[in-house]
Chains A and B, each alone.
Chain A
């Protein structure tokens, strides 16, 4: 029967890890803004180096 106790300890510690992760993520403000992060990941880190149009010098 001691194997059940062993399994219980194992499953509970996994569960507690997830509870800890949840508490951390709430404290880390991950639930505050649900719009920006999924879009932010799609943006390129660096803007394209060449302007899309030929800017003529007088515009500058």
Chain B
């Protein structure tokens, strides 16, 4: 349908917009050679089902992967870290493929054995985005398998962190505990029925059997299923903190001991069903709340960003020649010479010894313009080389480089966020609750002690059983669990339930600019001036492609990407005469005999004289003027592209809480930002990563609860320092720094709604808690008067649990629907 509205031709393989003259094959169109190659490979193997399952399932192949990129997999040491099993004939290996997104991916990846005979079997774990391969080690190496995947567009993502660390699986314990609790609860209920309905005296033998069976079924509940509560309560006590699980453990054990006593003495049937019931419901709530987003990683550190291995240039003393050696990252020593290819991350601080570096430090500083470095200059780790291959001499090892220090500082400092479990408003509430219950129990004990001392024990235990704060726990776990689910559906993933409350209470929002408010890979280029012909555009691209200045390169890339047919021909390889670049001013040269110049206003004015001032007047970015021949033609305005809906976002937040924007960039965009976000927004430019986290610390010192929203590694410190750190990412699976929450970039404009939902969640918890108190009051009435029969408990407790469940679930869903989530 997009094709009809936009009149764009979409690539059959990857679904991206095709250039004006797409490649056609049979009835399909392709945007680039890469996509076409994958199609031919699949077609010749009869795997075109790939295209029938989903429209445009492929992954764009325009960016070619360097040929020897996976050469490091030949290294035995590195390979050993990835392989899960190995014998003479077989190798079992798992690759993380972040590109997996649809059933076509599943189909293609599981058909790998048809493409490559050496792949014995291939199985995809969709939730984890992993493929498990069994390789015939004689015919296919790890490297070859990785290259096969890459050739299909599924480039494996291998990080240092993967090596030598056990793969994390889901926590199956909780699911098993829940299942066992449910099983026991249902059976105890069933077996209790005859007694509730009334048994004759003649059937006492059966009654005894039933009671002992219940006792038997309650054992796994108490000793296995309820274990998470013991652990949590114990952890709280160790930190001298009475959390909500402590009174629950007390209630479970009081019920259990009293029930055993009754059964053994033959005086009653006990409260096994109520006990198993609350354990089951509480586990169900906890299970919902502790859902894990398995494919997301909230705990990335610098190791996940750095390459696994790098190419080290080894001088051979005998011949004087140089040879390349692939070395694993941790083995890099200072004094080594590294070869960094285009698009690769610089892993260690070093001195540039060969080639011209054009380094994109947006990862580290947030500054989006690449920096040019000459031979002999120091390059810092974390930058991405964007021009041709360079060589650097390592002066500081990876573990001591600037970027790593940023992380280590943080680790030492630690976060003071969660001392001894999560501080939630639920815990103090439960403490009050517990105190009141204990007071009531004491009062009842005193009253019955005077009148009928024999009933003190039964009344006190009945009070503790019936007043267990399980409803409070249920209301928070079910509400939070449901909110997590709703938010996750809108690509706002929270690390755990405690984050919900922190989102709700934040009162200052700090945004990072580059990559968060702006789209990292998208710059807007707009042209004003005399209309350019295709040939003239071609001249401009040709000239711009020759220059290494970031603006020229961006201009060239953008024009080529826009697929103007004139620009398409400009591959930058043709000869230019008299090419001259004036530092910080502009470039000029004769392209096909035509004099072309690109540069600043002054630069062009010096060349051709007068320039129309109105060109680019409406623009906000950097201007590049163009002159062809002896005439000024016009002006390109290159500006950051702000995400859509930013105005709405600002409008929704305005007045509710203050907003700050931190940027590693210069203040060029200041006016523009102020316009979009409002005049009262605090803007701070030229911020270092350290400066960002210091600013947040400063806000916290004046009592603010800061929500930091950032994207890159450079924000990691600030994200950690803030009360709640949200990582904004284009692709949830990749490259998110350590954070409390991950938000997909195109949902950023909904942030105010998300915050609002979290605030409503708190109210829902309170409301359902008040509701549960009513149940508790009824129960307490029975308990205090000494008339709590197992039947009353068996009706009261599950029905209160079910009511809470229904109320929290339907309220949070209604709230979400009302907010159009």
What's the Cα separation between A39 and B47 when bound, in Å? 16
What 0/1 readout, one digit per residue, does chain A (4-44) give for beta carbons within 8 Å of chain B? Answer: 11001000100100110011001101011111100110011
Chain A residues within 8 Å of B114, by CB: 46-47
Q: Is the CB of A33 within 8 A of B49?
A: no
What's the Cα separation between A43 and B125 when bound, in Å? 16
What 0/1 readout, one digit per residue, does chain B (250-268) give for beta carbons within 8 Å of chain A? Answer: 0000000000000000000
- Which one of A4, A29, A33, A60 contacts B44 once the chains associate, using CB atoms below 8 Å? A60
Q: How large is the interface on B (under 10, 10 to 19, 20 to 34, 35 or more residues)?
A: 35 or more
Q: Is the CB of B180 within 8 A of A59?
A: no
Q: Is the CB of A52 within 8 A of B128?
A: no
Q: How large is the interface on A (under 10, 10 to 19, 20 to 34, 35 or more residues)?
A: 35 or more
What's the Cα separation between A1 and B47 when bound, in Å? 66
Chain A residues within 8 Å of B176, by CB: 23, 26
- Which one of B40, B49, B209 contacts A55 once the chains associate, using CB atoms below 8 Å? B40
What's the Cα separation between A58 and B26 when bound, in Å? 14
Given that A36-B125, A40-B106 are known contacts, is A47 also in contact with B47, CB under 8 Å in the complex?
A: yes
Chain B residues within 8 Å of A44, by CB: 49
A37 CB, min distance to chain B CBs, angstroms: 9
What's the Cα separation between A39 and B125 when bound, in Å? 12
B68 within 8 A of A: no
Q: Is the CB of B107 within 8 A of A43?
A: yes
Interface positions of B from 585 to 616, Cβ below 8 Å from A: none
Chain B residues within 8 Å of A47, by CB: 45-47, 49, 111, 114
Q: Is the CB of A51 within 8 A of B48?
A: yes
A8 CB, min distance to chain B CBs, angstroms: 8
Residue with the highest number of chain A CB atoms closer than 10 Å, among B43, B114, B191: B43
Chain B residues within 8 Å of A18, by CB: 183
B298 within 8 A of A: no
Q: Is the CB of A32 within 8 A of B127?
A: yes
A18 CB, min distance to chain B CBs, angstroms: 8
Q: Is the CB of A32 within 8 A of B170?
A: yes
What 0/1 readout, one digit per residue, does chain B (110-147) give for beta carbons within 8 Å of chain A? Answer: 11001000000000111110000000000000000000
B814 within 8 A of A: no
Given that A5-B209, A53-B26, A55-B43 are known contacts, is A35 also in contact with B179, CB under 8 Å in the complex?
A: no
What's the Cα separation between A28 and B537 when bound, in Å? 62
Q: Is the CB of A52 within 8 A of B179?
A: no
Chain B residues within 8 Å of A5, by CB: 206, 209
Given that A4-B206, A47-B114 are known contacts, is A22 also in contact with B187, CB under 8 Å in the complex?
A: no
What's the Cα separation between A31 and B45 when bound, in Å? 33
- Which one of B44, B127, B183, B209 contacts A51 once the chains associate, using CB atoms below 8 Å? B44
What's the Cα separation between A24 and B127 when bound, in Å? 20
B729 CB, min distance to chain A CBs, angstroms: 21
What's the Cα separation between A50 and B49 when bound, in Å? 12
Q: Is the CB of B106 within 8 A of A36?
A: yes
B25 CB, min distance to chain A CBs, angstroms: 8
Q: Is the CB of B125 within 8 A of A33?
A: yes
B203 within 8 A of A: yes
Interface positions of B from 181 to 237, Cβ below 8 Å from A: 183, 187, 191, 203, 205-206, 209, 213
A38 to B, closest residue via Cβ: B103
Chain A residues within 8 Å of B124, by CB: 36
Main secondary structure of the interface of A (DSSP, over half): loop
B123 to A, closest residue via Cβ: A36
What's the Cα separation between A47 and B48 when bound, in Å? 8
Q: Is the CB of B172 within 8 A of A27?
A: yes
Main secondary structure of the interface of B (DSSP, over half): helix
What's the Cα separation between A51 and B294 when bound, in Å? 37
What's the Cα separation between A44 and B110 when bound, in Å? 11
Q: Is the CB of A34 within 8 A of B127?
A: yes
Q: Is the CB of A43 within 8 A of B183?
A: no
What's the Cα separation between A45 and B426 when bound, in Å? 53
Given that A35-B126, A47-B46, A53-B26 are known contacts, is A23 also in contact with B107, CB under 8 Å in the complex?
A: no
Chain B residues within 8 Å of A19, by CB: 179-180, 183
B618 within 8 A of A: no
What's the Cα separation between A43 and B128 when bound, in Å? 21
Q: Is the CB of A1 within 8 A of B125?
A: no
Q: Is the CB of A51 within 8 A of B206?
A: no
Chain A residues within 8 Å of B27, by CB: 53
- Which one of A1, A22, A29, A34 contacts B205 once the chains associate, using CB atoms below 8 Å? A1
B16 CB, min distance to chain A CBs, angstroms: 21
A10 CB, min distance to chain B CBs, angstroms: 13
Given that A26-B176, A26-B179, A43-B49 are known contacts, is A32 also in contact with B169, CB under 8 Å in the complex?
A: yes
What's the Cα separation between A8 and B48 when bound, in Å? 57
B173 to A, closest residue via Cβ: A26
What 0/1 readout, one digit per residue, does chain B (18-56) give for beta carbons within 8 Å of chain A? Answer: 000000011100000000000010011111110000000
B114 to A, closest residue via Cβ: A47
- Which one of A15, A33, A49, A54 contacts B126 once the chains associate, using CB atoms below 8 Å? A33
Chain A residues within 8 Å of B126, by CB: 33, 35-36
Chain B residues within 8 Å of A4, by CB: 206
B577 within 8 A of A: no
What's the Cα separation between A1 and B169 when bound, in Å? 49
Chain A residues within 8 Å of B45, by CB: 47
What's the Cα separation between A18 and B209 when bound, in Å? 23
Interface positions of B from 74 to 111, Cβ below 8 Å from A: 103, 106-107, 110-111
A27 to B, closest residue via Cβ: B172
B774 CB, min distance to chain A CBs, angstroms: 35
What's the Cα separation between A31 and B179 when bound, in Å? 13
B682 within 8 A of A: no
What's the Cα separation between A39 and B170 when bound, in Å? 22
B806 within 8 A of A: no
B220 to A, closest residue via Cβ: A19
What's the Cα separation between A42 and B812 when bound, in Å? 36
B532 within 8 A of A: no
B314 within 8 A of A: no
A7 CB, min distance to chain B CBs, angstroms: 11
B26 to A, closest residue via Cβ: A53
Chain A residues within 8 Å of B294, by CB: 32
Interface positions of B from 329 to 359, Cβ below 8 Å from A: none
Chain A residues within 8 Å of B180, by CB: 19, 23
Chain A residues within 8 Å of B103, by CB: 39
Q: Is the CB of B179 within 8 A of A32?
A: no
A22 to B, closest residue via Cβ: B179
Leading 6 A-B pairs by shortest Cβ distance: A47-B46, A35-B126, A36-B126, A53-B26, A33-B127, A39-B103
Q: Give residues in A with beta carbon < 8 Å to B.
A: 1, 4-5, 8, 12, 15, 18-19, 22-23, 26-27, 29, 31-36, 39-40, 43-44, 46-55, 59-60
Known A8-B191, A12-B187, A39-B103; 16 more pairs at CB < 8 Å: A4-B206, A8-B213, A23-B176, A26-B175, A33-B126, A33-B128, A35-B126, A36-B106, A36-B125, A43-B49, A44-B49, A47-B114, A53-B27, A55-B40, A59-B25, A60-B44
A-B contact pairs, 18 of them (CB 8 A): A1-B203, A1-B206, A19-B179, A23-B180, A26-B179, A31-B175, A32-B125, A32-B128, A33-B126, A33-B127, A33-B128, A36-B126, A43-B107, A47-B49, A52-B43, A53-B43, A59-B25, A59-B44
